[in-house]
Amino acid sequence: MTLMSSALTLDAPTSLPDPLLHLRDVGKHIESKAGRINLLNHIDLVIRPGDFVSIMGPSGAGKSTLLNILAMFDGDFTGEYDFAGRSVNRMKPKDRRELNKRHIGFVFQQYHLLDDLTVYENLDVPLSYRDIRKSERAAIVADVLDRFQMVGKKDLFPSQLSGGQQQLVAVARAVVAQPSLILADEPTGSLHSSQGRMIMELLKKLNDSGITVIQVTHSEENAAYGERVIQLRDGWIVDE
């Protein structure tokens, strides 16, 4: 009787939110003169809204390949990929690009800033894809410039910035529109340690506000900012 009474007082299990990203048996290969090379093998992955996930592994493990698929830059893969319930693998390239622009911010390892635009204009580009008035965009960009301590560099072009400064702009550009998902490929790779900590703390703060973050990193310190670590090796998930 005591056992039955105790069981009846247990709370019902809390249901998990629907996945933001869901990969089922995703693979990626290329053909070479030596034959077929598998870059990713049978990847099953669930990322829920608000997750902060770090992807780690040695060079050539498939980390950037997986990140490019998650970002919808690469549609040439096998298996199934759902984003917020929408089937990415069935989409036309134009529809994938539109979904990316509206929901994903990407921090590139090599910056990928637009050389003929100023810092201010680079930050305005992601906002221009949204239905945001020009005056509101100006206020948002001004706030981000202030948070990243780049107000004095807003009229400079990327070629006038150091590598670390370009990376700061690249991160600011990824977060300026407060996307649903931030994907970061070694986001602190070109930064001094203090700048790197600032970027990671900002990503953590954004994650605390509800934005999902997935980063590729070699840094155990950076990986510790997240709640999950996914280990890749030779295109396989070997540990989580």
Q: Give the largest CA-CA distance in the chain.
A: 77
Write out pLDDT tens, residues 173-223.
Answer: 998 988 999 999 998 877 788 888 888 998 998 899 899 999 999 999 999
| Among 95, 52, 49, 38, residue whose Cα is nearest residue 72 | 95
Residue 49's pLDDT is 96
The phi and psi torsions of 77 (rounded to 5 degrees) equal -145, 165
Residue 14's pLDDT is 55
Whole-number Å distance between alpha carbons of 204 and 168: 16
DSSP per-residue letters across 181-229: EEEEESTTTTS-HHHHHHHHHHHHHHHHTT-EEEEE-S-HHHHTTSSEE
Write out pLDDT tens, residues 125-148.
Answer: 999 888 789 999 999 999 999 988
**The pLDDT of residue 10 is above 80:** no
Structural domains for the chain: 17-239 (3.40.50.300)
Name the residue with tokens 């690009």.
Answer: 97
3-state secondary structure of 101: helix
